[in-house]
Amino acid sequence: MKFPSFSSTPALSVFLLPLHLFSASAQHATVNITSDSYFYGQSPYVAPAALPSGSSESWTTAYAKATEFVSQLSQEEKSNLTFGVRATETRCVGFIAPIERLGFKGICLQDAGNRVRLADGVNAWSSGLHVGATWNKKLAYQRALRMGAEFKAKGVQIALGPVVGPIGRVAEGGRNWEGFSNDPYLCGVLAAETVRGIQENGVVASTKHFIGNEQELNRNPSTNSQRQKVESISSNIDDKTLHELYLWPFQDAVKAGTGNIMCSYNRVNNSYGCQNSKLQNGILKEELGFQGFVVTDWEALHGGYVAAEAGLDMVMPSGGVFWGSNLTAAINNGSMNASVLDNMATRIIATWYQFGQDSEDYPDPGVGIPRPLTAQHVFLDAATVPSSKQVLLNSAIEGHVLVKNTNGSRGLPLQKPELVSVFGYDAVSPTKNPTQRPSNRDSQIINQTMIVGGGSGANNRLYISSPLEALSQRAYEDNSQLLWDITNVNSTAQVHSASDACLVFINAWASEGYDRPGVHDDYSDALVNNIADQCHNTIVIVHNAGVRLVDVFIDHPNVTANESDYGALLSPTPPEGVYWLFPQDDFREGVYIDYRAFDEKNITPRYEFGFGLSYTTFEYSSLEIMKVDGSSTDEYPVGEIVEGGQEDLWDVLFHVTASVANSGTVNGAEVSQLYVGLPGGPVRQLRGFSKVDVAPGRSVDLKFDLQRRDLSVWDVVAQKWQLQKGDYKIYLGGSSRDLPLEGALNI
């Protein structure tokens, strides 16, 4: 079986270490804290944001229509727009009731980032992590475009994705697989393409989870063994780190026009994310110029009208004990200004108008998601679009990363071998119940090829060609013989001595709701080593929902293709000490996670960020750095606020050009990566990438644009992006450590 050529892509194994102690942290306490009043003021209050007038002609029109619409509503009808109700005829996970007298059919909100959940007749698309591993902007857009068409066909107004938080700070984070990358630039670029693709169909993209939702442990309040209430974890993040790392991809999504932002379960600086006025009013709606509306994660509301005043517009899946009639009561008794509710309702309806969901042609809410799905119903096929098949296939192929390959007669690609032996629980389709179920204690799924993690982002395959099935077909075409043992649960499978190659398939599970128990498992490691001890050409294929530690087997001499100290960023932070009832997670490492941390401490990772092997070789040359004529390099931007922030943040200040040549003998795709070293910042940060196909003996010209934001740091005093004076280092190559071209620019 010949595998495709893999270009430079994110490493399968990434190690995270804690560094610099400059982030926000809980106040020092010496006795047990029993009241949240101890934390008051850590997240400053920001008054309700003014209603937007529209940052574009289309938004201006949408807000004019929405203002007229809302003026015709009673207080109760306005309130009804802000909280969900149970959809009796459909399986929409969130539903806003219709206002029939004004032609408003309601709003269906549906999971998630890679499929229309709880529906038939739709495709299962690659997860965010897999998309990130492609480094392919066009493919990310095409995936989202077709996925958005399926959401629309099923009557969904709001698709609950993409995920850009968690970004992947905690290696064992249960939801890391839903996001694109732990680099904010790569994550932001792919999020923007995803938002554009989904919304091209008139479906609103809900970019989530805003913000600092980096672990599943204690993401929600709970009750401890003493029957005491334990609040959600507080992600304590300083202003500079927030802007330069965690907010960065959200800013890209807002710039791309995302119509919705979902706030997160956790607290941020000891204020719940969905009632944090600094985040929602101050940063999202004012600083970033966000035009849409904010919705809670499900059951993430922990306050009444104060959450509305803090910038929350909609609560899901219901008003619960806090909203509903309580909002109108708060207005009637003078606790809340009526203009706040008007603002919320207008933002929701303006977004509905902005994306043309008032059109008669837009499908009725939830029309293709019947309740119950197992009952007889009209089948609405949204999956069999011919062009979708190629995008599905390309997405699956390009997200694989080749990290080890032995030259010579062993390794990949296979050249019509006589006998191939296949091992591993991940090689087959799930034709029966798994013999081992995922839980807090388990880290892999036995008896099925894993294509997705668990939780609200999970999906069911429409169809899948498992590795064993695909290998069987290829073996037939190549006149090869195939042997397999995929049921041996004792890791003691026997290898036929005549095997030309042995393929071992393993996986690692992750899910919303709990964090991973580790970054490797003994069973899979033992299986690989057992096969490698017997087979001179062992090829390991890992389907992994996050970071994987491969140290136990990767250096085995017969592994031809395929416990360190991670510090505090390996595992989630539990409640402890005097903050037992108010768990605290101080982001003391600042922006120094992943490759930024390794560069800072001069640590050589096994596979650096951006690493990936190919069947060919590439050479770089002709680096040039040119300032754009007339571009301003003043210290601070001066532009008006538009979607994404001050408009001149997006001005191009410098062009960087170079050439990449294929010096090998086969076609290949190379991901050329541009890194910038800012004065006083991390050694290097990704600020551009381009994936290009290059034929043998040919070269391709590369061009990167460096915008003002790319070269700026956040000034916590001025509360603006600052362009520092000094020298900026420029690096270009195939990974964060393979950078043959270096240059500099001066500001």
Domain span(s) for CATH 3.20.20.300 in the chain: 41-210+236-262+271-354
Domain span(s) for CATH 3.40.50.1700 in the chain: 404-561
Local structure of residue 283 (DSSP, 8 states):
I
pLDDT of 491: 66
pLDDT of 24: 53
Alpha carbon distances (Å) from 210 to 298, 300, 713? 13, 12, 21
Domain span(s) for CATH 2.60.40.10 in the chain: 618-746
pLDDT of 135: 98
Identity of the residue numbered 114: N
pLDDT of 21: 28
Residue 423: closest CA among 553, 300, 599? 553
Contact predicate 673/689, CB 8 Å? yes
Q: Name the token pair of 276.
A: 């944090």
pLDDT of 198: 98
Tens-place pLDDT, residues 186-219: 999 999 999 999 999 999 999 999 999 999 999 9
* CATH class entry, domain 618-746: mainly beta
Q: Is 28 exposed, middle or buried (0-12, 13-18, 19+ CB in 10 A)?
A: exposed
> Which residues is 714 bridged to in the sheet?
721
Residue 55 CA to its chain's centroid (Å) = 26
Separation of alpha carbons 306 and 166, rounded Å? 26
Separation of alpha carbons 174 and 512, rounded Å? 5
| Mean pLDDT, each 10-residue run in order, the chain (747 residues) | 33 29 50 75 91 91 98 96 91 96 97 88 92 97 97 97 96 92 98 98 98 94 89 96 99 99 97 98 98 98 95 94 89 95 98 98 94 84 84 91 86 93 86 49 58 74 80 93 82 88 90 86 90 94 89 86 50 71 93 95 92 96 98 97 98 99 97 98 98 98 99 98 98 98 98
Local structure of residue 177 (DSSP, 8 states):
G
Alpha-helical regions (H) of 407-515: 467-478
Residue 671: closest CA among 741, 623, 732? 732
For 138, phi then psi, to 5°, come to -60, -40
pLDDT of 40: 79
Question: Is the peptide bond prior to 413 cis by the omega test (within 30 degrees of 0)?
Answer: yes
pLDDT of 516: 87
pLDDT of 444: 57
pLDDT of 637: 98
Own/partner pairs, 324-331, CB within 8 angstroms, 24+ separation = 324/79, 324/83, 325/76, 325/79, 327/79, 327/82, 328/75, 328/76, 328/79, 330/304, 330/305, 331/75
pLDDT of 23: 39
Separation of alpha carbons 348 and 66, rounded Å? 8
Separation of alpha carbons 234 and 265, rounded Å? 10
Of the options 3.40.50.2000, 3.40.50.920, 3.20.20.300, 3.30.70.1560, the CATH number for the domain spanning 41-210+236-262+271-354 = 3.20.20.300
Residue 669: closest CA among 399, 415, 387, 406? 399
Tens-place pLDDT, residues 410-447: 889 999 999 999 999 888 876 554 455 444 445 555 55
Please identify every residue annotated as catalytic: 297
Helix or strand or coil: residue 189? helix
pLDDT of 359: 97
CATH dotted code for 404-561: 3.40.50.1700
Alpha carbon distances (Å) from 360 to 168, 200, 356, 357, 501? 42, 17, 9, 8, 59
